Amino acid sequence: MTASSPIDSMLQDLDEILVQAHGCLSDPAKLAAPMATLENFIETRFAEMKTAVTDGGMSGDQRLHLAACMDKLIDLQAKTQARLQWFDALGADLAEMVDRG
């Protein structure tokens, strides 16, 4: 496989989206755009990637790149989930203060 294969291109695009999303974790307003891009990538290109892998297989380097993307995706999920839990806890604390007030 060459560096410009469809699988390499899709993995590079996915990697760039995940890096951009990680860079916006501290700013929820900015995070919305890369998350929408990630969702669009999955909706439009994931089936294409699966077909390319089925048809041509993956090289060792491509498997490593995919594994690195999976690690970034798992980390992104954990960090966004932690942020949501923090906001849920804050909301519960504020609601309790309002009820007591």
Q: What is the pLDDT of residues 13-32, one digit of tens each?
A: 999 999 999 999 888 889 99
The predicted-structure confidence for 30-81, as pLDDT tens digits, reads as follows: 999 999 999 999 999 989 989 988 998 899 999 999 999 999 999 999 988 8
What was the pLDDT predicted at 4?
66
Give the pLDDT confidence score for residue 11 in this predicted structure. Answer: 96
Mean pLDDT of 76-88: 85
Please list, residue by residue across 48-84, b when 16 or more beta carbons sit within 10 angstroms of its beta carbon and e when fewer do: ebeebbeeeebeeebeebbeebeebeeebeeeeeeee
**pLDDT of res. 82:** 81
